[in-house]
Amino acid sequence: MRLRRVRSSSWSRRLVAEHRLGVEDLIWPLFVMEGENRRVPVASMPGVERLSIDNIVIAAEQAAELGIPAVALFPNTEAKLRSEDAREAFNPENLVCRATRAIKAAGLNVGVILDVALDPYTNHGHDGLIRNGEIVNDDTIEALVRQSMVQAEAGADILAPSDMMDGRIGAIRSALEDGGHFNTLVMAYAAKYASAFYGPFRDAVGSAVTLASSAEKRDKRSYQMDPANTDEALREVALDLAEGADLIMVKPGMPYLDIVRRVSETFRVPTFAYQVSGEYAMLQAAAQAGWLDSDAVMMESLLAFKRAGASGILTYFAPRAAAALKNEA
């Protein structure tokens, strides 16, 4: 037997390929900022910019043209609007709500995903509320429910709780049902690890500064998962599904492909993976140094998610990967 036979030409390689990346697999995370006609580069994420709402709409149009099914919006909230109680999260006029309405007003066939978590709105940068130095679970859930309702009312198609409080999926689902938002999807960041790969994201949304100044520092280990654990990820996913999650996410991505594989095989539900900011940053840094072929590692890394069983991938490479796929075709 010679396994090299089918590898000898590109048509036969294509014929036997077991996995394929398509534009429909991509979700594009975008950073929203205040102002008009503004684009501010994120230093630790070469090629990524924070965009004012007018430019967010342009990005969403670009997504629609490329065939990217959905965008995920993250706000860089002004410092003066960050507080102990994260009240800006429930302001129907906050950045992500206005951006969502602007995208919907443009009539684009693109899903809008909003993160449910308090970190862009707290003055300490944590995803939950703090009482006596502790991130409190149940009071945080009340805040997350209020945030979810405001986001659903703004027209978000998918709410993505990324906070890792226990029981928040059920509480949010019930509130959505009671509020008549039957069709609002919930994508649970079910297995989200306490990872050092989120660093550049925290620069982008401005929570790196707030976290560094908080007494609890950058440590999210009391709510995000321990990178040492696998079985626990399955319990997290099982709970979120039982509470009503429609879609499941594993995060980070590349260092956690084993989790993507186990979750997708165990539950057979739509499972998404987030190729996070630090993964993007390291690939881009090596490419900029001339040490890696940027396009090649981008496509190879995204295909790896498909091989692991992901239904789709949140990636800052989304527009570039979509353009590359278009050229291939």
- Name the β-bridge partners of 72: 29, 113
What distance in Å separates the CA atoms of residue 21 and residue 24, rounded to the nearest whole number? 8
Beta bridge partners of 115: 160
Q: How far is CA 192 from CA 88, 182, 223, 225, 284, in A?
A: 24, 26, 9, 6, 23
Please identify which of the residues 80, 251, 306, 326 carries the catalytic annotation. Answer: 251
Residue 25 or 127 having the CB closest to ligand PBG: 127
CB of 263 or CB of 273, closer to ligand PBG: 273
* Assigned token pair, 104: 């919907």
CB of 8 to ligand PBG, least distance (A): 40
| Angle between the N-to-C axes of helices 95-105 and 137-154, in degrees from 0 to 180, rounded to the nearest 10 | 30
The nearest distance, CB 270 to ligand PBG, in angstroms, is 19
Query: Is the distance from CB of 161 to CB of 169 less than 8 angstroms?
Result: yes
| Catalytic residue chosen out of the listed positions 80, 104, 192, 217 | 192
Q: Is 192 a catalytic residue?
A: yes
**CA atoms of 40 and 38, how far apart (whole Å):** 6
Question: What number of other Cβ atoms are within 10 A of residue 145's Cβ?
Answer: 20
Nearer to ligand PBG, 116 or 237 (CB): 116
Task: Judge whether 251 counts as a catalytic residue.
Answer: yes
**What are the backbone dihedrals phi and psi of residue 244, each rounded to the nearest 5 degrees, phi first?**
115, 15
Rounded to whole angstroms, the maximal C-alpha distance in the chain is: 68
61 is in an annotated binding site: no
What is d(CA 164, CA 157) in angstroms, rounded to the nearest whole number? 20
Q: Which is nearer to ligand PBG, 168 or 202 (CB)?
A: 202
Least gap, CB of 124 to ligand PBG (angstroms):
12
Q: How many Å apart are CA 298 and CA 276, to the nearest integer?
A: 13
Chain residues that interact with ligand PBG, rule: CB under 6 A: 115, 117, 119, 127, 162-163, 198, 201-202, 220, 276-277
State which residue, 19 or 263, has the beta carbon closest to ligand PBG: 263
Closest CB 3 distance from ligand PBG, rounded Å: 38
CB of 143 to ligand PBG, least distance (A): 13
- Is 11 in contact with 29 (CB distance < 8 Å)? no
- Which residues are annotated as part of the binding site for Mg(2+)? 236
| Annotated binding residues | 236
Active site (catalytic) residues: 192, 251
